Amino acid sequence: MKILGVGDSVMDAYLHKKLLYPGGNAVNVPVLALRCGAKAAGYIGLMGDDEPGRHFVRALEEEGLDTRRIRVLHAKTAQNYIRVDETGDRHFVGNNGFDVAQLMAQLRLRDEDYALMEQYDLVHTSVHSFLDEFLPAIARRAPLSMDFSDGYTPQNIERICPLLRFAFFSGGGKSDEEVDDLAQLALRSGARTVVITRGLQGSCIFEQDRKLTQKAVRVDAVDALGAGDAYIAAFLTAYFSNGGDAALAAESASAFAAQSCLHHGAFGCELQL
């Protein structure tokens, strides 16, 4: 599989450790897919020209991603402030403001971006990338995967899912009935494969009239940041490599997501504050 991430990027700032880690769903998924065995990966997005931004781009290049379509602005790179509790769960407790590259400009896709997409098997983005107006054009160039995380409404599901090959949702805290209703709405709206992750309750995968469940792999978590992105990356990579066996893909994804909880940051590459 060759996968291209388009959209959100942010530095995750662990202030108590004075460390920054590259992150953002549209970045994490292609990086981690490459680590899972994807043949190629790339990223299109916005970055500041400060030291965190330069470090971010270097980290992606060292991971082997195609970074030629990253836009670098004369601005600070966005940071999310992270606190990790005693169970390893992460909490967002602030940010470095609105005067950052990722908020000062909107990512607007050009012909060169679409030409690059046509070289990939899959384009992945997130609801937090705010690319709604570009999604139809993306879906015409390559199969499209979207992480809704917890930022979904019936309205955006019905609007976006007709364009999607894969739809991922965070369903932590939802009942079995609520999970089923969410998945059926996404399927009726047009998504072909719907995956809902539920933290320690595992995950559910829906395709047409079939529902699969996958148990979570339990570990002594150090940091759960990026576990959902690790699941998505491993699921997509395994799904493409095994010919579309969702059960095997979910098993691989659950194991890889658990391993991601054993280190800080979504994929490491720390920068000292």
Helix (H) or strand (E) holding 27: helix 25-36
Question: pLDDT (tens digit, 9 = 90+) per residue, 77-116?
Answer: 999 998 877 665 667 788 999 999 999 999 999 999 999 9
Confidence of residue 119 (pLDDT cuts 50, 70, 90): very high
Average pLDDT over residues 253-266: 93
pLDDT of residue 16: 82
The answer to whether residue 59 scores a pLDDT higher than 80 is: yes
Contact assessment for residue 261 and residue 126, using Cβ atoms and an 8 Å cutoff: no
Provide the domain count of the chain. Answer: 1
d(CA 125, CA 108): 14
Average pLDDT over residues 23-44: 98
Quote the percentage of the chain above a pLDDT of 70. 98
Confidence of residue 264 (pLDDT cuts 50, 70, 90): confident
Which domain range does residue 122 map to? 2-272
Question: pLDDT (tens digit, 9 = 90+) per residue, 225-239?
Answer: 889 999 999 999 999
| Intra-chain end-to-end CA distance of the chain, in Å | 35
d(CA 134, CA 6): 11
Q: What is the dihedral of CA 45, 267, 259, 166, to 10 degrees?
A: 10
The answer to whether residue 244 scores a pLDDT higher than 90 is: yes
CATH number, domain of 97, equals 3.40.1190.20
The Cβ-side half-sphere exposure at 59, using a 13 Å CA radius, reads: 25
The answer to whether residue 222 scores a pLDDT higher than 90 is: no
More confident residue, 171 or 16: 171
Does residue 206 come out as left (phi exceeding 0), alpha (psi in the -120 to 50 range) or beta? Answer: beta
For the CA atoms of the chain, what is the radius of gyration? Answer: 17
pLDDT of residue 30: 98
Confidence of residue 10 (pLDDT cuts 50, 70, 90): very high
Average pLDDT over residues 130-146: 98
Output the six-digit token pair for 76: 């600070």
Question: pLDDT (tens digit, 9 = 90+) per residue, 154-195?
Answer: 999 999 999 999 999 999 889 999 999 999 999 999 999 999
Average pLDDT over residues 239-262: 96
The Cα angle at residue 32 between residues 15 and 26, in degrees rounded to 5: 70
Contact assessment for residue 128 and residue 168, using Cβ atoms and an 8 Å cutoff: no
pLDDT of residue 273: 83
| Burial letters 114-126, b for 16+ CB under 10 A, else e | bebbeebebbbbb
Average pLDDT over residues 67-86: 92
pLDDT of residue 90: 66
Q: What is the mean pLDDT of the chain?
A: 95
Q: What is the DSSP letter of 200?
A: G
Exposure of 177 by Cβ count < 10 A (0-12 exposed, 13-18 middle, 19+ buried)?
A: exposed
pLDDT of residue 91: 74
Quote the percentage of the chain above a pLDDT of 90. 85
pLDDT of residue 89: 67
